Structures are given as structure tokens and as C-alpha cells.
């Protein structure tokens, strides 16, 4: 029997755009679980969810650096806030290095979100936005703000040297910051973003480099590293198992 997965997605308000990439909701409407592969996407998430045989709870999901086999339980409803890295220090005040390729359970009643809130996507986006706006710290380091703006707008295509020169911050200091806060180097993070930017092209059947990979061999190697399969198999997305690819627009 076919499993039915539905998605909703919404961008943040302007006041949160430095910290939040998107809000999204996923629902498995079927009576059986859906086997999926979670791909690295350069985001960390706070996820609220419940399922037919799973109580309502909230988790913090850290950065992924490798593909992971998971399952979406039957009748699961999931609401998530996908964060940009600047939010770690200036909104949530945590170190995400401890949840690299992992997750941690958040306290009950986190941000006063309840199971009933998941019944209205737009209202819940507004509710958590109000909570986050009160948490944003003032006096954001302009170097970090500029650094992340360059990283995201280039989809990870700029080298560490180029980024360092543009923000007047040494490569060594940047990498120390990245490793302490996020558990990976800046180059490793940029590689994830470049992989993610390639997914739209791969979904459209463009099985050749579009994101400044050195050559076709390097492109295939990087795609396989982050997805577990070569570009051709990834583009087929058999049974819709690559959930990040499935969520991209046609």
C-alpha cells in the first residue's frame, strides 16, 4: 500500500531571516511507517511531533554530515523550525557540536507548544515566531553576520580563504569558532551546502556538476558521500525515500 506524505513550508518574517530558514510541516497520512533517508542539508531543527503510537514531544536535531536511515511513523504529524547557524549563538544560546548527527529531547512544554497547536500550521508559525523574537540577542558580531550571509548566498561555493579575506577574520579563528560551536570545520559545512544546492539540479535530471566541483569524478564522489548513492540513483528517488529531494519543487 502506498504511503502518503504531505508537506507544507513557509519562510520566516524579516525579523528572523538571519536565524530561521523555514518553517515546515510533514504528515504521514498512511497506516504504516515510511522508510526514508535523511540527507545532510546544513540546517539544524527544532521538531515538535506526535504519531499514532508516539506521544507528543519536542527534539533538537543537530547538523547531519552523512546520510541516515530513518522511518516516519504511521499517522505522524511533525512541525519543524529549520535554523541557520547564527541562531545557535544569538537565539538559542547552545553549542550544537554535542548533537552533531544526533538529537536531544527538549523539555516538556517547550515554548508552550502543545499537540493541539499542530492542527493550525500558520498559527503555530506565528506562535513560535513570537517566542523566538523575544530570545534574539542584541549586538550580533558583524563579522559573523557577514560570514553567514556570504556562505548562504554562495551556497557554500566560496573557499575558506575567500571568506576569511572578505570578512577580515582569520581562517584559523573561523575554523576554531565552527568546530567549537557546530562540531565541524567551515570547509566541511560549505561542502554540505554545495551538495544541497546540487539536489535541485539532480532532481531535474542534470547529472553533472553545477556548483563549482573540480570535475565529474569529484562531483560523483561528493554526492555519494552525502547521499550514499551516485547521482543517477539519487535522481530516481525510488519510493520517494530521499525525503529532502521529495520536498523540493518540481
Nearest to 183 by CA among 104, 83, 94, 81: 94
Q: Tell the CATH topology of 5-133.
A: Immunoglobulin-like (2.60.40)
Cell numbers at 87, concatenated? 541562531
All three cell numbers of 154: 554562495
Backbone angles phi, psi at 46, to 5 degrees: -105, 125
What is the tens place of the pLDDT at every residue in 95-113?
788 899 999 999 999 999 9
Radius of gyration (C-alpha) of the chain in whole angstroms: 18
> Which residues sit opposite 81 in a β-bridge?
23, 46
Per the CB < 8 A criterion, the answer to whether 202 and 248 are in contact is no
216-247 confidence digits (pLDDT tens): 888 889 899 999 999 999 999 888 888 887 77
Cβ-based burial of 214 (10 A; exposed 0-12, middle 13-18, buried ≥19): exposed
Residue 248 has pLDDT above 70, yes or no: yes
Q: How confident is the model at residue 1 (pLDDT cuts 50, 70, 90)?
A: very low
Per-domain residue ranges for the chain? 5-133
Amino acid at each position: 500500500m502506498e504511503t502518503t506524505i504531505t508537506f507544507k513550508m513557509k519562510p520566516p518574517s524579516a525579523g528572523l531571516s538571519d536565524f530561521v530558514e523555514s518553517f515546515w510541516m510533514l504528515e504521514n497520512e498512511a497506516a504504516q511507517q515510511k522508510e526514508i533517508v535523511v540527507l545532510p542539508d546544513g540546517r539544524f531543527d527544532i521538531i515538535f511531533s506526535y504519531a499514532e503510537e508516539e506521544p507528543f514531544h519536542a527534539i533538537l536535531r543537530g547538523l547531519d554530515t552523512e546520510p541516515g536511515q530513518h522511518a516516519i511513523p504511521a499517522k505522524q504529524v511533525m512541525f519543524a523550525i529549520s535554523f541557520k547557524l547564527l541562531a545557535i549563538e544569538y537565539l538559542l544560546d547552545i553549542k550544537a557540536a554535542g548533537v552533531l548527527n544526533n538529537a536531544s529531547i527538549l523539555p516538556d512544554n517547550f515554548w508552550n507548544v502543545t499537540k493541539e497547536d499542530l492542527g493550525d500550521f500558520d498559527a503555530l508559525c506565528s506562535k513560535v515566531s513570537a517566542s523566538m523574537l523575544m530570545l534574539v540577542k542584541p549586538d550580533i558580531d558583524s563579522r559573523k553576520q557577514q560570514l553567514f550571509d556570504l556562505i548562504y548566498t554562495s551556497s557554500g561555493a566560496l573557499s575558506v580563504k575567500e571568506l576569511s579575506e572578505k570578512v577580515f577574520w582569520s581562517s584559523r579563528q573561523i575554523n576554531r569558532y565552527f568546530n567549537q560551536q557546530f562540531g565541524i570545520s567551515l570547509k566541511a559545512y560549505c561542502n554540505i551546502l554545495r551538495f544541497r544546492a546540487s539536489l535541485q539540479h539532480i532532481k531535474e535530471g542534470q547529472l553533472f556538476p553545477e556548483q563549482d566541483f573540480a570535475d565529474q569524478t569529484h562531483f560523483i564522489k561528493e554526492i555519494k558521500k552525502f547521499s550514499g548513492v551516485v547521482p543517477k540513483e539519487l535522481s530516481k528517488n525510488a519510493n520517494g525515500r530521499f525525503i529532502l529531494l521529495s520536498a523540493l519543487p518540481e
